[in-house]
Structure 1
Amino acid sequence: MRRLLVPGAVIAVLCLAVWLALGNSRGAAPQRQSTDGSRASSRSLPLFQALFQATPSPSRDTRLRIRGTVRGPGGPVSGARVLASAPVAGESLSTLPCEKGSSRRESLLDCDEEQAREQLLSLVAQRHGEAPVLSRATTTEEGSFSLEGLEAGPYTLWVESAQGTGLRHDVPAGSEGVELQLGAGTRLSGRVVDEAEAPVPIPGALVTAIFKPHSRFFEAVSDGEGRFQLGPMPPGEYTLITSKEGWLSSVTGLTGYAPEEELTTTLYRPRRVTGRVLRSGTPVAGAEVVVQDPPLEPILKTLTDTEGRFSFEGLPPLRRKVIATHGGEGAFLEVVTDELNTLEFERRYTNVTLELAPVSYVRGVVLDELRRPIEGASIEAQQDPEMGFIWMRGRTDAQGRYRLGPVKPGLVRFEVRADKHDVLLDQMHTVPAGESAVDFTLPQEVLVEGTVVDAAGQPVAGEQVMLRALDDLGNPRMWESSGETGLDGRFSLEASRAGSYRLEVSGRMTVPQAVEVVAPSTQRILAERLTTILEGEVVDEAGIPLPGVSVSLWTVTSGELEDYLVRGTFSDLQGRFSLTAPEEGRYRVVAGQMQGVFSRETSQVVEVGKGGARVRLRFAAAHRLSGVVVDRRGQPIADANVRVQPAFHKMEISCGGSTPGTRTDSDGRFTFRGVSGELLRLHVWKEGFGRAEGAGPQGSIPLSPDAREVRVVLVDPAVVKGRFVHEDGSPVTHFSVNGESYEDKEGRFAHPLDRLGTVLIELYLPESPHESVRRTVTIHQEEVEVDLGTITFKPEE
């Protein structure tokens, strides 16, 4: 009996081991996917190895968790979804380059090249390229969450709730006590319509908004009226793709910072081009026909059949060139796809005829002044509109050789560019039919190159450098060339000729300095880093970091702002920024956003000492602002320009978004969906009208932070009028008043004034060597006329 118990015990142990192994396998938490879609398991061991180990092995489970709390304006938020994602290098769209093997920094989502666009559409259609979600959780009643089963590394955390959205970048796995703020985010609504003059809605279109920094997809489908809604989504930059079977997909950019965004997307039917290639009226079989997006490489290619026929399907609505070649002859057809609807396009480009004729191919070599071949030089051949906008581009090989064509025999304009060489523009050559040779010699650039390093020998990146001619030192606006140091601290500036110059290091990151240099030369500039660095972050009203916000630094004297911009930058993905003050002192730091009918600002005055300073800029909640623009009689003014902007701003504030501002409707009314800030100003203008009543010196009206409804009165400008005559009393029929040209057979003029006060009026004859005739007038109010009478032009004046 004892012999029978041993095998039974072994079998029981085996069964227990198998059950435990299977249980462990089923209970394993998900791991980050590998590139082939498989999942790694740190717990899996060969079954028999586990059975016969003398002692239990220590756990090799390296999975981590992230724990924290979601909070909204009212405190902890329950029932919110929290997601953890991480891009996969070489797969997620945000990690793919604009061009394969290219050194350009743009990602595929920012690229406007035709091939990149097609690659992007193909990946999104297959739902490839999204950063995978690797863990999910739902917040408890206390707002807490725990994201489980994460590998070591940084993650982006997303919060989704009916109350809004939240986002936080670069949270390491294993973090505890992470706080996620829930904000309103941005909601996108719009319509998808066709290209008809009276657009028809397109139902069932898929609208995909891709968050550029992280390749996160947000999707919606248009309803029966073509309408769709997306959001709430985190504020930031998006690529918007709209697609439907049977239509050409649309790719547009979207800057989403306003609480509400609206967008109308137009989809186009695919274009079709068909025709025949003939030679003296006879069909040509085997002719090569390409569709080209000048000056790029052909994007479609085919051969004619035995009857000389060809066909291209699915052309997008862009201007194209169709080129046929055979036996040293060619034919060209310009296809205008973006100005014609589908029916008009079909009528114009179905059954076209391409008649072959002699063409030209141009070859040659590009050399430097020492007769050495230049590799990689860019060379373009262009022909004028009478030639059908023929445009070819190529690059030279290692021997400096190139070949371009076909082009039409006749006059061709060549442009040649190469690194460290001057640009040759407007080089015209007449080329005959067949093969011809045109060589180019590029003069060497005169360069001042070098590196900017600090006291420790480390490169200084992002420092501005300028090269000035010594005889231009009295004019601060004049310089030979300027640039910024790269990540390696290197710079390269071009001089117009050899000689002595002054090289200035501007003081953006280091103490300003200037040294005299000789061009050409290579310099090593030792710079002292500034310690007056202002660091900070920009957040919205909920405390959520905002990327891509314009931040600027301004000088302050006695608490009042001078009109002097010191520095400017943009916040990064975490809403952080860094600005270097040129010296210790008080500054105003301003964050502002202007995008369409959304404008907000926030600012603080800070004291920047030798150890720098830190600041947190927080936008107030935005509110709607409406108003009406009228004339002095109270009549509405339609199509007036209206803009809300910070009193302190820089032009880049609208970078990446639509043109800031709006126009009044037929009733003179306008609406901004969101404005906020203590220092906002309202700009209203229309051609033919003067400034708004109550406007300051810059033509703007201060806005109260709590303004919801405004009324703006535009007045007619004051006018000076008169008659301009020669000494003999004959009228001056062509002349200028304060830079504006006038033509009148009696020499009369009526010139509007753009400001009040004392104004200088200058009248002069174009291209006259004599001085202008000057008069001074004082204007106290708009809508008055001042008659200067007869003004006589006297050469001695």
Structure 2
Amino acid sequence: MRARTWWWAAVLVLGLGMAVVSSRAPRAHAPSSNEHFRATDTGPSGTRFTKQLATNAESSLRITGVVRDARGPVAGVQVSASRVDADTLSARLFPEDPLAMQSDAWMLRQADPSYLEQESVRLVETREGAAPEFARTATAADGSFALEGLPPGAFSLWAIGDTGATVQPDVQAGSDGVTLTLEEGVFISGMVVEQYRLVPIPGALVTVVHEAGSRYFDALADARGRFRVGPLPPGRYLKVASAKGWVTTARREEVWLDANVDVMLYLQPQLRLEGVVLTSEGRPASGVNVHLVSQVDSDDTRTTRSDGRGRFVFDAVPQTEYELWARSEDETAFGATLAIPPDSVALRMKPVLFMEGTVRDEQGTPLKGVHLDFQGQGQGDRTSPTAVTDEAGRYRVGPLLKSGTRVRLRGEHLLDALEDIELSMPHAGPWDFTLRRAPSVEGLVVDTEGTPLPGIEVKLERSQGAPKATGYFRSDLDAVRSDDAGRFVVDGEEGGASHILIDAPGFRAVKQAVVIPSAGIRVVLERGASVSGTVVDAKGQPMRLVDLQLWDTASRSETPRTTSPDKAGAFSFQGLKAGHYVVEAHVQRPGIQHAVSQTVDLEERTQARVTLRFEEGRTIQGRTIDTEGQPVAGVRVQACPTLEDLSAWRTTGPSCRFPAGDGVLSGADGHFILKHLTAPRHQLIARKDSHGFAPARSRGGTPDLETLLVTTGEEDLQLVLERRPRLRGQVVSEEGAPLPCSVGLWGPSAHFPDGTFDLPLPVDGYQRLVVSAKGFLDLWHDFNASPGQDVDLGVLRMARGRTVRVLVQDERTRAPLAGVDVVIAAHNEPPASDRIRLPSPFEGTLDEEGGTDMDGLPRARISLSVRRAQSMIVQEVTVEANQETVTVRLPDPSR
């Protein structure tokens, strides 16, 4: 786990409370008790976290200008100049190099939704990644400013005042007369809470990061866990929350903010995970390195060493699932297990295994050069092993760290095979495999100039009607990549007519008829036509954080090509055939998806250029009110186009089922503003947790069941929300004492310290309430909610559960099976009612005593079924109503 520098502690001493943050440089005066706190760049020692270039002979340029808003020049605005370099957050997470963005590593990072958040946490925690600031000043009475001592180059200028903000990129040092126009500014507010109980976390530090500009803005959560940051320039922002004793968390949505938003940030407590390393005989193993890696963040690995008693400890880990593993120093034993803190775990090592054998064809002839991939054997710094057969068809591989593996065998002119192997089961003799001979297609991939093309994926369409061989790994398309000389050999299942398929970036897709088998095939790839251009906003400024799609209107069933523009807003689609296309760019803004498109007709080998300009669109505004006409604040309002107004080339449209947290917020007076509406009609949706939207009672549009249809020219919009019925109750123990508990209905459970709950009912009709409390059996309560009527469940009495210690031993030796994976399931026994709720089966590792605690069991006669995780041999045991410990003996499946 990464080391944490608790730089936020210095900020805490400045005082708790909501914060409005405009920049990360010190103010000229300290904030008064009634003034909003502005975070600084200084740490406990006064050193700046934001990098600042040392002054030198070249740092003699200046930028001058004026800051204005709609009324004229503005005094007292903070103006600064910064630059995104290779070490900043945006440069690391969003590289400009087109080749880097096409790499396999980059694509894998983008496919993992948590990657950017985890990387951002690492940078923000250590206060790295912030754009270096080169100069700062405040505007004079006439709005003028001068930034001095700048080196040559382009800078981003930030102007942040009390009422507005703006950022202007690519301003050259030495420029005079620059005009910075303040926009309305964005406020990001919300709450920091504990992830599972939703309890507020006072004093948490929230860092809001402008993604494109790598600027950090800080705020402290108040006593209710609430925070507020702003005004900030419009843009896309990452939110990072941290607090002492909690795991730092990042939240990122691909939404371009130009309106105020309210978000929920969740933190997990830091816990301790401890345990013991055991030898294969069950004795403590001292001096062994133990590794821990999160199942969520596989890039974050921690290592510790077992002491003289084999014990180990990992401190300050979040409550998530981890894999632990250890190997002996001589690498003859290995063990791995899963754990969730604050568990105490026994990690039992087993002797490592080797596999050897021979690979032959169906006639028994040894096969040379067959590749064997042993999947599922990677661990930490060890990748899954591979082997290649020698002249005699023999292979040997090891050490294999885990008892189960999947072996894939592949070779030229052979059908691939895939087989699951259980190494823990007895096996006589070597592991031999037999492969079928396969007809092949051999050839060369070149461009139109005859240059061989390496690394091109070549697929062979499966022969029509060819049967799939039992036990063989086949797909409808067999694929290989051309070698450095552009050559390829791709195998088929049987002879006959087929097709070579190639769809490589930058080239036109190819479907070339071939006969299986054949050799000397030459596949020529044409670069084809292309569409390139730029994406700009309504002011003509480049836009980078948008999604681009290219639709082939003649093939509506096809998935569109996608890409992203670079820093200058430039993009390109290459390798296109002649035809009619639509280029579309869209960006998610609060409450609406803003889109722009342009049609393009391409002829063979033509290069078309387009400019996609996001127009402002129209703005509508209105109020959110209740059935009595009183304003309702904090309502989320969203607009989406109707199905009739969707573009003809799109097969699907944006959904009006927007996720929680999306939409523009109505203010204290119920007023809301929706911008960037470009379609002639839009469907409006309003949502608030404790209310339901009533389109039929709303005004300014045409209602349907769930939305209000609003057309161009509609005014005086009033969206009516009906108060949802409430669900109330009091949870107590068997003795009648109030019981701290968690209550869940449809969404996440909420924690109630005194057991008294009051929740809005999201729907009417039959529902189930689930109540949980430590040491008690879960309580399920079914009820029926009638429209418009509150439901009072009165007093809910919870029954105490019990914990049974289950000890598992070897049937022959009576030795505890410490560190062994087992499955234990509880079952009701007559005359117990089937309505007695039992906990989920335990699937995990026994502790160092060879036992585990089964929590949440009823005080009634039950039975337990116990088996090893990789065995079907089950032992049944009865547990009496007052029994606290039970011993089970299991046979060794290897005997």
> Which of 689, 711, 718 lines up with 1:704 in the alignment?
711
RMSD: 6.4
Q: 1:220 to 1:395 in 2, by over 3 A?
A: same
Q: Match for residue 45 of structure 2?
A: none
C-alpha separation between the residues in 2 aligned to 1:141 and 1:645?
A: 46
2:194 equivalent to 1:194: yes
Q: Match for residue 692 of structure 2?
A: none
Shift of 1:265: 1.5
Shift of 1:319: 0.8
Q: Match for residue 407 of structure 1?
A: 402
Q: Match for residue 251 of structure 1?
A: 250
Q: Match for residue 292 of structure 2?
A: 291
Q: Match for residue 353 of structure 2?
A: 361
State the AA in 2 paired with 1:202.
Answer: I
SS in 1 for 2:90: helix
C-alpha separation between the residues in 1 aligned to 2:619 and 2:428?
A: 66
> Which of 570, 591, 597 lines up with 1:598 in the alignment?
591
CA contact 1:654–1:660 (8 Å) conserved in 2: no
CA contact 1:362–1:437 (8 Å) conserved in 2: no
Q: Rg larger in 1 or in 2?
A: 1
Q: 1:284 to 1:458 in 2, by over 3 A?
A: closer
Structure 1 window deviating more from structure 2 (129-138 vs 542-551): it is 542-551
1:244-643, aligned counterparts within 5 Å? 244-258=243-257, 259-277=259-277, 283-293=284-294, 299-323=301-325, 333-337=337-341, 345=342, 349-350=343-344, 352-353=345-346, 356=348, 358-362=350-354, 371-372=368-369, 379-381=375-377, 394-396=383-385, 403=398, 405-408=400-403, 412-414=405-407, 425=418, 427-431=420-424, 450=445, 501=499, 523-530=523-530, 533=531, 535-539=533-537, 545-551=542-548, 569-575=563-569, 591-594=585-588, 598-601=591-594, 603=596, 612-620=609-617, 623=620
1:713-732, aligned counterparts within 5 Å? none
Q: 1:432 to 1:514 in 2, by over 3 A?
A: closer
Q: Deviations over 1:594-637 (max 9, x none)?
A: 46x6114354777879975545221336556788999xxxxxxx
C-alpha separation between the residues in 2 aligned to 1:181 and 1:393?
A: 55
2:242 equivalent to 1:240: no
State the AA in 1 paired with 2:339.
Answer: V
Q: Match for residue 779 of structure 1?
A: none
C-alpha separation between the residues in 2 aligned to 1:250 and 1:300?
A: 18
1:117-196, aligned counterparts within 5 Å? 121=121, 123-139=123-139, 145-175=145-175, 178=178, 180-196=180-196
Structure with the bigger RCO (C-alpha within 8 Å, sep 6+) is: 2
Q: Match for residue 640 of structure 2?
A: 644
C-alpha separation between the residues in 2 aligned to 1:94 and 1:423?
A: 43
Unaligned runs of 5+ in 1: 1-32, 43-60, 338-344, 383-389, 473-477, 631-639, 664-669, 686-691, 714-797
CA contact 1:208–1:242 (8 Å) conserved in 2: yes
2:56 equivalent to 1:41: yes
State the AA in 2 paired with 1:200.
Answer: V
2:85 equivalent to 1:93: no
CA contact 1:450–1:491 (8 Å) conserved in 2: yes
Shift of 1:262: 2.0
Q: 1:362 to 1:64 in 2, by over 3 A?
A: farther
Q: 1:536 to 1:97 in 2, by over 3 A?
A: closer
Shift of 1:536: 4.5
C-alpha separation between the residues in 2 aligned to 1:257 and 1:511?
A: 34
Q: 1:230 to 1:496 in 2, by over 3 A?
A: farther
CA contact 1:380–1:414 (8 Å) conserved in 2: no
SS in 2 for 1:152: coil
Shift of 1:678: 3.2
Count how many residue pairs are aligned between Structure 1 and Structure 2.
Answer: 595
C-alpha separation between the residues in 2 aligned to 1:500 and 1:654?
A: 39
Q: Match for residue 682 of structure 1?
A: 683
CA contact 1:379–1:394 (8 Å) conserved in 2: no
C-alpha separation between the residues in 1 aligned to 2:442 and 2:623?
A: 55
Q: Deviations over 1:447-485 (max 9, x none)?
A: 887465799x999x9x9999878989xxxxx99599999
CA contact 2:84–2:91 (8 Å) conserved in 1: yes
CA contact 1:236–1:546 (8 Å) conserved in 2: no
- TM-score normalised according to structure 2 size: 0.51
SS in 2 for 1:183: coil
- TM-score normalised according to structure 1 size: 0.56
Q: Deviations over 1:427-457 (max 9, x none)?
A: 33444589998688999997887465799x9
Shift of 1:212: 3.2
Q: Deviations over 1:636-660 (max 9, x none)?
A: xxxx9987247436699989x9858
C-alpha separation between the residues in 1 aligned to 2:74 and 2:449?
A: 49
Q: 1:570 to 1:437 in 2, by over 3 A?
A: same
State the AA in 2 paired with 1:290.
Answer: H
Percent same amino acid at aligned positions? 23
Unaligned runs of 5+ in 2: 1-47, 362-366, 390-395, 466-474, 628-635, 664-669, 687-694, 723-895
C-alpha separation between the residues in 1 aligned to 2:318 and 2:569?
A: 38
State the AA in 2 paired with 1:291.
Answer: L
Shift of 1:226: 1.2
C-alpha separation between the residues in 2 aligned to 1:81 and 1:225?
A: 30
CA contact 1:93–1:109 (8 Å) conserved in 2: no
